[in-house]
Structure 1
């Protein structure tokens, strides 16, 4: 049977005060992946420096291929209260994450309602993750409508401002379109070739991550595959293409597409879950592990959805954790998916490829 097709997640309607601690914290212990006693000087960014696409891999400042592992925020219009000094300390030190994906929704009460506020919020999270030695994926979380051109003017504005504020940093990756849908690859490529120069005019060296057709499935969810991107890549250097999967819905066809694509293109999995396409329902840890094994083997970076206490099973914290300000470390506040993904970020060597 053909796997379930990707569909946009229904936004959480949970409220909550938009609280964000601005207090800087000490740099995190190293990830990639030293012992808990490793000095703060060996954080992921301190160890690896500025990243650059080399061939089909993401490489560090020493030319060595690296695989980043980390977490994505949920929409900051709903869950900024989950992103405190304590929770970010836990992500860097207890989870030993390499990367934080900062998701700024465009619609659904996000950026378009107050551009200045959401730009400031994203910038604050970038700075806090930077203080902890993590890499940051700046995610322009367009979802519905699925044509990225709909938000082109706002995307230019957002990325110009974020790049101006952060162009001196060596830990930023720009994800310019979360999950395009209902449009051709040529349409997505056209958007990318208009947004990338805006970023490069200010920050010429940072990698840029380009969303792919059909909710970043390389077109599988709309009956296509990676061959259209291979045949007609974006005309820009130092870019990667994104792939998203939810293991309980997206099975062998999607896994095979990711494997083939990564042999021909630079790929970063900027979002995945162990549940169904909506980030809810039961966890399929066995299928998820197959994806993780493949990504480890091919050094494909990944980010799990999501670092919040949303009621869905894909949010790592139990509901109410953020309102209670933790506890953030250990596993007592984590749902089963949170326990599973924390283990695989902290100790990847304990889960080797098959």
Structure 2
């Protein structure tokens, strides 16, 4: 489709950024050539950089994982925002630069709650905020997950009409981009897989009107646990898959709460269907409490072995232990280095940078 003027300006900006960005041994720098090390000290280097989206281009589902334009398997690592209605102040030029160039994140999940003072209170305003943030992430050369963060009520069909309106607008505006993922149901709960599957079958064609091959991420039963949190297992999804191309199924875990039962279920599922861990934490399922880095590392090792892409919850200064920044960091920062990071923030930043 023809690009509207705003999008033409964006892609012109991308060309400029690709021409002038540089990289240091500690990660990709901002276009200025400056980079913050672990202490926040600015350093510089003259080596040419390649952003994740420029390196891999359009990603497609190949078997049970993602492949780039050259057919090479790709594992993405990144961060999720907190709810845009609560922590939008944590998403500004400085924090987004830090996530792209200091952390080296491949992908950003933009979490837009539907209830909880979210989208339903101002559909036009939240949709515009999502457009703007997609453009911001795209300008930094990263992939982006548009997260329809339905949570309560857990039946995704409750918000079906809202979802159809929202995803039609997002796909019409951004569907020709190579870096967009659509997560159409964050954490379904209280309903069986056939109901969730029917919702997916309704929303996929809405997106496909405008984006015929963008990867669509499908929520799974019992808070995207493949049914494991409800006493079932991954077979209910494996045995009754959605009939569509370029789709992946989502899995969420919190390492201090979700033990080997969950780890093994994810491992089995990843051998049968394409999986994407669109949310996880090193703490309890509340996103709070003590960290279990040993169990988290077991998940990270499994995901590396299976080629499962992942996104950590969350890039904000919420008081809970799962938010990476200390309270009061947003909006002023600094966001680079480790000075304002909680223990989990330091750990997950290292995990992203190690990739």
| Same fold flag (TM > 0.5) | yes
Map 1:15-164 onto structure 2 (within 5 A): 26=17, 37=45, 42-164=50-172
CA distance in 2, matches of 1:312, 1:232: 37
CA 1:220–1:123: 2 relative to 1, 3 Å: same
CA contact (8 A) 2:28 2:49 kept: no
CA distance in 1, matches of 2:28, 2:108: 20
Instruction: Find the counterpart in structure 2 of residue 230 from structure 1.
Output: 238
For the pair 1:340 / 2:347, whether they are aligned, the reply is: yes
CA 1:38–1:271: 2 relative to 1, 3 Å: farther
Aligned-pair CA distance for 1:91: 0.3
Aligned-pair CA distance for 1:123: 1.0
CA distance in 1, matches of 2:194, 2:333: 45
For the pair 1:267 / 2:275, whether they are aligned, the reply is: yes
4+ aligned runs moved over 4 Å, structure 1: 24-31, 33-41
Give the structure-2-normalised TM-score. 0.88
CA deviation profile, 1:290-319 (whole Å, cap 9, x unmatched) = 000000111100000000000000000000
CA distance in 2, matches of 1:277, 1:175: 20
Instruction: Find the counterpart in structure 2 of residue 309 from structure 1.
Output: 317
For the pair 1:187 / 2:195, whether they are aligned, the reply is: yes
CA 1:39–1:129: 2 relative to 1, 3 Å: farther
Instruction: Find the counterpart in structure 1 of residue 224 from structure 2.
Output: 216
5+ unaligned residues in a row in structure 1: which ranges? 1-21, 349-354
CA distance in 2, matches of 1:199, 1:206: 9
Give the structure with the larger strand fraction: 2
CA deviation profile, 1:8-36 (whole Å, cap 9, x unmatched) = xxxxxxxxxxxxxx9x89466679x9776
Aligned-pair CA distance for 1:41: 5.1
CA contact (8 A) 1:104 1:110 kept: yes
SS of the residue 1:264 aligns to = coil
CA distance in 1, matches of 2:330, 2:285: 24
SS of the residue 2:271 aligns to = helix
CA 1:30–1:345: 2 relative to 1, 3 Å: farther
CA distance in 2, matches of 1:151, 1:30: 43
CA distance in 2, matches of 1:62, 1:139: 27
CA distance in 2, matches of 1:29, 1:136: 21
The number of equivalent residue pairs is 324
Aligned-pair CA distance for 1:151: 0.2
Instruction: Find the counterpart in structure 2 of residue 175 from structure 1.
Output: 183
Aligned-pair CA distance for 1:167: 1.5
CA distance in 2, matches of 1:150, 1:53: 29
5+ unaligned residues in a row in structure 2: which ranges? 1-9, 30-44
